[in-house]
Structure 1
Amino acid sequence: MTVRLRRAEDADLDAILDIHNDAILNSSAIWTDEPVDRRERELWLAQREAAGYPVVVAVVDEAVVGYASYGAWRAKSGYRFTVENSVYLAAGHRGRGIGAMLLAEIIRLAQEAGMQVMVADIESRNSASIKLHERFGFEHVGTVRQVGTKFGEWLDLAILELPLQARERV
């Protein structure tokens, strides 16, 4: 299996939409209940690009099978060097190392952009995602209990962080 990573393009939005909506409908990875439409993903991609936040896709046999990005962790200017990542894969392509490739690429891009810290906010029972992030050096820094709900149950949020640069005074 050959996997190629590249920046997302408008032509990738249908595949990104399918992957995103699958995560909404079938997992607790995205804490929203309703699928989104293509227009929402168009706006999302445009906003990411305008803010300088990359969206990277993984392509296998000319099909987009995953995507990753990072964006602002919090809106206030004091957090401007801290980003939160997202990595999503199509069903049938998980557990093959594609998520690791995507995560490595967005970490590299965040470092090149001068970001200081990358945060991963992960539903606490998502052990596959937590283990993936830990393999890249993310450390668990806290769990916030019952801050979300989906599928009729309360969800805990595990917070992991990865320093991207040497920690110095600004």
Structure 2
Amino acid sequence: MIRNATPADAPAIAAIYNDAVRNTTAIWNEIEIDAANRVEWMQARQAAGLPVLVLEEAGETVGYASYGPFRAFDGYRGTVEHSVYIRSDLRGSGRGRALMEALIAHARAAGYHVMVGAIEAGNAGSIALHGKLGFVHVGTMPQVGQKFGRWLDLALLQLVLDSRAQP
């Protein structure tokens, strides 16, 4: 079941986030957070009209997704950047796709024009998933990040959400 997140989901969201911090290059942060941090993040997103969705299975939160502003300038107001994370033991099982589809539907209903994915260029699974959902690779920024003692390249993918010729 995909639904809007509540504060009760914060411990599971924090655990999924922290696992990605410790073990992957999906998140380019190195500091772990706690449930209170995720409650504040969730409340700020929701107060701004932005979604925080969770995937619940058998009463457990096993994944989450959200989007927010791509950049903080007025001209980008029709563009959002998204994030999707699945519990480590369930990655590659189609759950990320389900959350992505729900997030894309939400962004379309909210009237956004473009959704951006900024993905570590070596994350072939995520890049392939995005391609299956219609995202197009629009560029790679070499060595703009670092983690685990190495430089990271950032692949930029985008999905045009509607066919408007003008804003």
| 1:1-170 equivalent positions in 2, closer than 5 A | 4-170=1-167
What amino acid maps onto 1:45 in structure 2?
M
- Contiguous gaps of at least 5 residues in structure 1: none
Matched residues in 2 for 1:42 and 1:11: separation? 9
* 1:39, distance to aligned residue in structure 2 (A): 2.4
What amino acid maps onto 1:147 in structure 2?
V
Provide Cα deviations, 1:88-147, integer angstroms capped at 9, x if missing partner.
000111121110000000000000000000000000000010011100000000000000
Q: What TM-score, normalized by structure 1, do the two folds share?
A: 0.96
For 2:166, what is the secondary structure of its paired residue?
Answer: coil
Matched residues in 2 for 1:138 and 1:169: separation? 20
What amino acid maps onto 2:81 in structure 1?
E
The size of the alignment, in residue pairs, is 167
Contact 2:121 2:155 in 1 (8 A): yes
Matched residues in 2 for 1:9 and 1:38: separation? 12
Matched residues in 2 for 1:14 and 1:119: separation? 27
For 1:92, what is the secondary structure of its paired residue?
Answer: helix
* 1:38, distance to aligned residue in structure 2 (A): 2.1
- Contiguous gaps of at least 5 residues in structure 2: none
Matched residues in 2 for 1:149 and 1:27: separation? 12
For 1:133, what is the secondary structure of its paired residue?
Answer: helix
Task: Kindly report structure 1 stretches of 4+ aligned residues shifted beyond 4 Å.
Answer: none
Matched residues in 2 for 1:34 and 1:110: separation? 29
Matched residues in 2 for 1:37 and 1:10: separation? 12
Q: What TM-score, normalized by structure 2, do the two folds share?
A: 0.98
- RMSD of aligned Cα (Å): 0.8
Matched residues in 1 for 2:61 and 2:35: separation? 16
For 2:93, what is the secondary structure of its paired residue?
Answer: coil
For 2:91, what is the secondary structure of its paired residue?
Answer: coil
Percent identity over paired residues? 49
For 1:125, what is the secondary structure of its paired residue?
Answer: coil
